[in-house]
Amino acid sequence: MGTSEQHAKGGLAVRNLGFTYGAKTALRDISLTVPAGRFCALLGPNGAGKSTLVSLLTRLLVAPAGDIHIAGHDLRTRSRRALGKLGVVFQQPTLDLNLTVRQNMSYFAALHGLPRSEVPGRIDAALDRLDMRARGDERARNLNGGHRRRMELARALLHDPAVLLLDEPTVGLDAAARQAITAHVHDLADQGLCVLWTTHLTDEVRDADALLVLHQGEIIADGTAGEIRGETSLKDWFLARTGPVPA
């Protein structure tokens, strides 16, 4: 993958990004590009810097150096436009459990400034996309872990983002729910969305996916998963380079 913002006009481009927590370096000179219509897995063991990168991409943190472009908008100088093109599913649950699915989504729609008249239609469309419409009037508390994640995914698509960022979205899900979410997000990439999916689980990455491997704050591999792993399994390749981690 290249690093030109032009290349990722509808996608995500990061250039020379670095970040430190006091004396500890969390990310060192990170550059990456994910074009529209691509599923890119960001694989890294715990502590590799994935969460820091997600915080920088969502502007929860601001890096002293480096650039981030989301759908062509500079996050530093045009943060409002850039964040308006970004859909995020955080690792931590962000639902208000006392509210219904629809109320949670309406709240999000308002936070993104969507016109009030469009909101019900958009919520229906997003719920349909995830096959969740029947659960729309249930309280989030009554949904199981897999459905809550699906709801968060539906919500992240509500404002029609160009870039979808998912931070270890399968944490805490059973095997079937993991598989369903992973497959669905691959479909979204096939439909033209730029997807960055962070994980430490190698079995969520397909051979055709773009793959970035983050280790100790640096990108140590950048290419297609099948090319990177070669003849060995991705799990073995990953373990050999990053040390033993849970699969």
Partner 1 sequence: MSGFWGVTRAIVGREFLRFIHQRERFVAALVRPLVWLLIFAAGFRAALGLSIIPPYQTYITYETYIVPGLCAMVLLFNGMQSSLSLVYDREMGSMRLLLTSPFPRWWLLFCRLFGATAISILQVYAFLGIAALFGITMPGWGYVTVLPGLILGGLMLGALGLVLSSFITQLENFAGVMNFVIFPMFFLSSALYPLWKMAESSPLLRDICALNPFTYVVELIRFLLYLQINWQALAWVAISTLVLGLIAVWGYDPARGLMKRKG
Q: How would you label 152-165 residue by residue, b for 16+ Cβ within 10 Å and e otherwise?
A: bbbbbbbbebbbbb
> Across the strands, what pairs with 20?
25
Q: Closer to partner 1 at the Cβ: 28 or 59? A: 59
Binding site for partner 1 (CB under 8 A): 21, 51-52, 55, 58-62, 64, 79-84, 86, 88, 90-96, 98-99, 103, 106-108, 110-116
Which residues lie closer than 8 Å to 30 by C-beta, 6 or more apart? 14, 16, 17, 18, 53, 66, 214, 217, 218, 219
> Across the strands, what pairs with 87?
164
- CB 80 → partner 1: shortest distance, Å? 4
Q: Closer to partner 1 at the Cβ: 116 or 121? A: 116
Give the span between the Cα atoms of 26 and 19, in whole angstroms. Answer: 6
- CB 223 → partner 1: shortest distance, Å? 28
Contact 128, 153 (CB under 8 A): no
Q: Please give the backbone phi and psi of residue 140, each rounded to the nearest 5 degrees, phi first.
A: -55, -30
Q: Closer to partner 1 at the Cβ: 155 or 229? A: 155
Q: Closer to partner 1 at the Cβ: 80 or 121? A: 80
- CB 91 → partner 1: shortest distance, Å? 8
- CB 22 → partner 1: shortest distance, Å? 9
Q: Closer to partner 1 at the Cβ: 119 or 221? A: 119
Range list of H helices, the chain: 50-57, 79-84, 101-111, 119-129, 145-156, 175-190, 225-229, 234-242
Q: Closer to partner 1 at the Cβ: 44 or 211? A: 44
- CB 226 → partner 1: shortest distance, Å? 32
Of 242, 240, 243, 218, the C-alpha closest to 231 is 240
